[in-house]
Amino acid sequence: MIKIYIDGKWFDREQAKVSVFDHGLLYGDGVFEGIRAYNGRIFKLHEHVERLFGSAKAIMLDIGMSHEQMEKIIMQAVKNNNLKDAYIRVLVTRGFGDLGLDMRKCKKPTIVVIADRIELFPEFVYEQGIKLVTSSLRRTPHQCLSPNIKSLNYLNNILARAEAARAGAQEALLLNMEGYVAECSGDNIFYLKKGLVKTPPVWAGILPGVTRQTVIDLLRDQLKITVAEDLFTVPDLYQAEEVFVTGTGAEIIGVAEIDERKIKTGKPGKLTKDLTRLYREYASTNGTLVYETNSVLR
């Protein structure tokens, strides 16, 4: 039975509830983070908490605690559930209010931390690669709601993913309003051609992924491969030697096909496989240690 943190108290799954007047539920007014723990260590904890507070500041949401206090709660959530490997979901909403839009009616935020396990894709998918389809939707532009904010309003992503599911694909590719590749519904995207790896720049309309930045660092520092953050189009992906996506939950997954066009051999390539292995090794040995002795847990 997992224990869930809500506003200073710990609840069993069945008792973990928020008010129907919470503006996170009524209006999607809030922010969140997804974080992974490997081998008793929380990976990139500081970076995720920094992004959480940055998203909250962007929507004028005062979390009401320090970064250090938030990190301690996240660590305690992993401890309380006796987890070695975990997926951690942190939510901060505007809190209890009324049926109106006025945020001043919400006197304090609601804070929820859930630590559990996750498997977005079975292992064979990492061997075979995934299929992408280009969504008919566009990524929400900066002029409407900055994609840099990891907000609870995820309908743009959800509807794009629904298109992919209807087409028999696992992920959807979203373009920005200018028609350049932005990101996938839940992942950042990279491609390899002639020894150069490219990924869209943050200003193109993407969420600055923590996994994305880790992969950029590993490519540059460990594999000595040049990475360019640059604009590109869907046909550039069709002609790539390798394409892969990155995300906290998914980690790194090779792309086999986009819009019914095989990427090279139609299987994840050597760089993708090498990078996946390197990332998993790095994530399992780096991070904030949860337990005093990193004993074998479930």
Using the predicted structure, report yes or no on whether residue 126 has a pLDDT greater than 80: yes
What is the dihedral angle through the alpha carbons of 146, 74, 161, 239, rounded to the nearest 10 degrees? Answer: 80
pLDDT in tens, 50-75: 999 999 999 999 999 999 999 999 99
pLDDT classification of 296: cutoffs 50, 70, 90: very low
Using the predicted structure, report yes or no on whether residue 171 has a pLDDT greater than 90: yes
Domains of the chain: 3-116 (3.30.470.10), 123-284 (3.20.10.10)
CA distances from 134 to 162, 166, 182, 230, 258 (A): 12, 12, 11, 19, 8
pLDDT in tens, 141-158: 999 999 999 999 999 999
- Name the residues annotated as catalytic: 150
Using the predicted structure, report yes or no on whether residue 297 has a pLDDT greater than 80: no
Tokens encoding 3: 């224990």
If one compares 292 and 46, the residue with the highest pLDDT of the two is 46
pLDDT average, residue stretch 222-241: 98
| Nearest CA among 232, 233, 239 for reference residue 264 | 239
Using the predicted structure, report yes or no on whether residue 8 has a pLDDT greater than 90: yes
Average pLDDT, the chain: 96
Phi, psi of 248, rounded to the nearest 5 degrees: -60, -45
pLDDT average, residue stretch 259-284: 97
CB 96 within 8 A of CB 107: yes
Using the predicted structure, report yes or no on whether residue 293 has a pLDDT greater than 80: no
Using the predicted structure, report yes or no on whether residue 283 has a pLDDT greater than 90: yes
CA distance 248 to 150: 13
pTM above 0.75, yes or no: yes
pLDDT in tens, 14-33: 999 999 999 999 999 999 99
